[in-house]
Chain A
Amino acid sequence: MKNRNYFALLFAISLTTIFTVFAFTGTDTSLDRFIVSYNIGDKAEDFSLKNIDGKMVSLSDFKQAKGFIVIFTCNTCPYSVANEDRIIELDKKYKPKGFPVIAINPNNPEASPGDSFELMQARAAEKGFTFPYLLDEGQKVYPEYGATKTPHVFVLEKEDKDLIVKYIGAIDDSSRDPGSVTKKYVENAVDALLANQPIEMVSTRAIGCGIKN
């Protein structure tokens, strides 16, 4: 009986939520999207997304890569902007070692006009991005990875033909201020992979901007 009441309450709330959404606002940011969310050790799926040069990019295009530093980031989030130079440095340092950066903008440009494809092109040119900067058109890739914010990093390593998730989290321990970094989480993770050593911190957390749907 208790359960039934509980379901009745849930049902009532969902009904009224749906009703209110359509009646008053038209959109609802609180309805949770279906997010799979990778864990460490999971196999990551490849994707095909449009790069700022107009070409489609997939991870399978990078035949020589040992892995990838996949970073969900965008133009508009202050935490992403504060990390842009660090992302460029990561690519410069690790692309030659087989771990290129792949940046993906997960935001819906309709909800976040500053993250439109054209403005992604402009920002990449202005900052001199050395890596692909892809638009998650239709927002299918970020929910699969379980990215919740920008910036959000996933380090993947190739094992046979699979891509295995090895690290999830922040670039370092001071996302706002590059001057006070004491631990470079992503560098430590990729260095460990390159040296065939276990990664000390496989997941970390930092404040970021929620992804705009």
Chain B
Amino acid sequence: MKRVVFAAVLLLLLSCKKEVKEPAEPENDHIEVVNFSELEKLLQEQEEEVLLVNFWATWCKPCVEEMPYFEEVHDSLAGPDLKVILVSLDFPDKLESQVIPFVRNKGLEPQVILLDDPHENDWIPKVDSTWSGAIPATLFLKEGKRKFFEKSFTRTSLFSEVSKFINP
């Protein structure tokens, strides 16, 4: 067992290679702005079995730092069974001036949604009862199962948490 785990983790580490990114799909030039109940509905409607929902903002340095890892998860794992959704908590008046240019410049491919809901004290506990409201924060969802992280990820920690979640 130990050997298998070591081998798996080593393999994961050795597969560190950076691929050249294609420019973002044009669909990310339009970013949907939703309130929390619309976001909940949107998450329920997704067909993918596993959803990785990352709460971030362009002004949040650790969020921006971990963004490439979510892109990498999207590149290597997204498909009919798994989807990465990036929920921006930027101020709504910064959508045109900050969020869209950021998404375009980085060539972000996962779906980006802007959550505009001032009633934070109402919706934060609905994302997770333990969330204080600090970002970055990430929610993993899979058929009623959920795991929440109020922290930033390294590449290794994100991949290991994702694989633990998908194959417990």
B77 within 8 A of A: no
- Residue in B2, B9, B57, B65 whose beta carbon sits within 8 Å of that of A29 in the complex: B65
The answer to whether B154 touches A21, judged by C-beta atoms less than 8 angstroms apart, is: yes
Contact, CB under 8 Å: B9 / A12: yes
Residue total for A at the interface (Cβ-Cβ under 8 A): 40
| Contact call B13/A207, Cβ cutoff below 8 A | no
Nearest A-chain residue to B150, judged by Cβ: A148
Beta-carbon contact of B60 and A210 below 8 Å = yes
Interface hits, A172-213 → B, CB 8 Å: 173-177, 180, 185, 204-212
Which chain B positions have C-beta within 8 A of A210? 60, 62, 134-136, 152
| Among candidates B2, B61, B120, B153, residue contacting A175 with C-beta atoms closer than 8 Å | B120
Binary B-proximity of A92-124 (CB < 8 A = 1, otherwise 0): 000000000000000000011000000000000
Are the CB atoms of A78 and B154 closer together than 8 Å? no
Asked whether A60 is an interface residue with its Cβ less than 8 Å from the other chain, the reply is no
A173 touches B157 (CB 8 A): no
Task: From A20, A78, A174, give the contact of B13 (CB < 8 A).
Answer: A20
Instruction: State in angstroms the CA–CA spacing of A205 and B119 once bound together.
Output: 10
Q: Is A56 an interface residue (CB 8 A)?
A: no
Q: Is A58 an interface residue (CB 8 A)?
A: no
**Of residues 1 to 35 in B, which have CB atoms within 8 Å of A's CB atoms?**
1-2, 5-6, 9-10, 13
Asked whether any CB of chain B lies closer than 8 Å to the CB of A25, the reply is yes
Which of B57, B59, B154, B155 has the largest count of A CB atoms less than 10 A from its CB? B154
Q: Interface residue tally of chain B, by bracket?
A: 35 or more
Q: Taking the complex as formed, is A36 at the interface, i.e. its CB lies under 8 A from any CB of chain B?
A: no
- Determine if B154 and A30 form an interchain contact, defined as CB atoms under 8 angstroms apart: yes
Would you call B113 an interface residue if the criterion is a C-beta within 8 Å of the partner chain's C-beta atoms?
A: no
Contact A30 B121 (CB under 8 A): no
Partner of B154 from the list A8, A28, A32, A170 (CB cut-off 8 Å) is: A28
Q: Judging by beta carbons under 8 Å apart, are A12 and B5 in contact?
A: yes
Interface presence of B144 (CB below 8 A): no
- Per the bound structure, the CA–CA distance linking A30 and B135 in Å amounts to 12
Judging by beta carbons under 8 Å apart, are B135 and A209 in contact? Answer: yes
Decide: A13 and B135 in contact? CB cutoff 8 A: no
Query: Which B-chain residue is minimally distant from A12 (CB atoms)?
Result: B5
A209 near B60 (CB under 8 angstroms)?
yes
Select A149's contact among B13, B132, B153, B160, beta carbons within 8 Å: B132
5 contacts between A and B (CB under 8 A): A8-B1, A20-B155, A30-B154, A208-B132, A210-B152
A-binding residues in B (CB < 8 A): 1-2, 5-6, 9-10, 13, 57, 59-62, 65, 89, 91, 118-121, 124-125, 131-136, 150-157, 160
Query: Beyond the given A12-B6, A16-B13, A32-B151, could you list 9 further A-B residue pairs with CB under 8 A, ordered by the A residue number?
Result: A16-B10, A20-B156, A30-B154, A112-B61, A148-B150, A173-B118, A174-B118, A207-B135, A209-B134
Chain A residues with a Cβ under 8 A of chain B: 5, 8-9, 12-13, 16-17, 20-21, 25, 28-30, 32, 77-78, 82, 111-112, 148-149, 152, 169-170, 173-177, 180, 185, 204-212
